[in-house]
Amino acid sequence: MSDIEPEDIRWLWPGYVPLGKLSVLKGDPGLGKSLLTIQLAAAVSTGRSNTLPGWESRPPADVVFVTFEDGLGDTVRPRLDAAGANCSRIRVVKGIIGERDGREGMFSLPGDVAELQAMVMATHAALVVIDPLSASLSSAVDSYKDQDIRRALAPIAKMAEETGAAVHAVRHLTKGGGRRAIVSGGGSIGIAGAARVVLMVAQAEDDPTRRILAVVKCNVALMAPSRAFSIAETASGAPGIEWHGVSSVTADDLAAARGDDAAGATGGLRGEIEGCLRAWLGVRPMTRKEVISQARGQGFSERSVDRVATLIGVQRTGGGFGTERGTMWSLPGTPPSQPSPPSQPISATFASMADIGGNGRNGVNAGTVPTPIFDTADEI
């Protein structure tokens, strides 16, 4: 390593899309994933942006779009125009690249990386967008097998490193909900593993007209803040994006809320959290800090636990000041006394844990009692 010169991370969009790396944007259909790539492409093509928060002016550069779903004339071009793009700098591969055996063939990964790299180098493109990633994968690639995905994405990540271009792939979410944002994408978790930055778009829980862009994972820097935005009609009639500042909602919050919506009022994630709360608080009242510590050990987000606790009427009482006030939790009808510490940690396992399959968070099979995870020696 003494022969390696240290380098600074270079950003296309600071905090969200790095240059020379593979990044992934995931979300449900209709929430603005493609619009975000349009905004990014427009900014790259002109070198400036009045819409992307945190964007830093740079020399204009070319963009290569590999798209499979949106129409070029009635969808992509009007959106680019509305975003103020220099369309002469944007090249589009409509799912077809080059020729095979005298006929046009469908673009696929990893087979067509060499042709894509030649295009990037010829145009000096700073951004490559693949929308969606799943459509670009060869039929020989099983998107649910980690080994297949890593073999397919390794060449595209290497291309990004060699050309210095940002490769930004769009990915759909799973149909059901999930506890953690990192595992909420469709296909293998190897997709998130190969990407250096993973972003997520989801609907804001408290306002259906707003979306949240959150960082799920960032291997190259500190996590950038979540951003709120909405989709609005522009003067041309095409949709555009309006930003509404920083949001405190995290990617795991978005995944948990989505899981609640998918599961319904009595099942899935909400049911698991309720079951755990009733099991823990049924033994003794606990401080909120204790509950959250137990919940994190089960993979639940703090926001989801607070929400379910409110839904089932958990009593919050106690003294203290500021954020520590009213931290004792108990079930409805239970005297909120100050208990002595239990002799053993409290945990719970439910049949729904079997839906996770294989090994759980604590490395045990469903049906056994997982060892709780504690954050500090004081909590132990």
pLDDT band, residue 127 (cuts 50/70/90): very high
pLDDT of 322: 52
Average confidence (pLDDT) over 93-103: 57
Produce one character per residue of 337-374: b if its CB has 16 or more CB atoms within 10 Å, e if not: eeeeeeeebbbbbeeebeebeeebbeeeebeeebebbe
| CATH class assigned to 11-251 | alpha beta
pLDDT tens digits, one per residue of 306-345: 888 888 888 888 754 555 555 788 888 766 554 444 434 3
Determine if the peptide bond prior to 285 is cis (ω within 30°).
Answer: no
pLDDT of 310: 85
- Of 128-132, 177-181, 299-303, highest mean pLDDT: 128-132
pLDDT band, residue 366 (cuts 50/70/90): very low
Residues of the chain with CATH 1.10.10: 264-356
**Least confident piece of the model among 41-50, 143-152, 276-285, 351-360:** 351-360
pLDDT tens digits, one per residue of 56-84: 999 999 999 998 888 889 999 999 999 99
Distance, in Å, from the CA atom of 330 to the CA atom of 333, rounded to the nearest integer, reads 8
Give CA torsion, residues 370, 371, 375, 380, to 10 deg.
140
pLDDT tens digits, one per residue of 155-214: 999 999 999 999 999 998 876 555 688 888 878 888 999 999 999 999 888 788 899 999
Is CATH 1.10.10 what the domain over 264-356 is classified as, yes or no?
yes
Residues of the chain with CATH 3.40.50.300: 11-251
**Least confident piece of the model among 73-77, 150-154, 293-297, 334-338:** 334-338
Distance, in Å, from the CA atom of 331 to the CA atom of 347, rounded to the nearest integer, reads 16
Pair of tokens at residue 356? 């996770």
pLDDT tens digits, one per residue of 211-242: 999 999 999 999 999 999 999 999 999 999 99
Burial class (CB in 10 A: 0-12, 13-18, 19+), 378: exposed
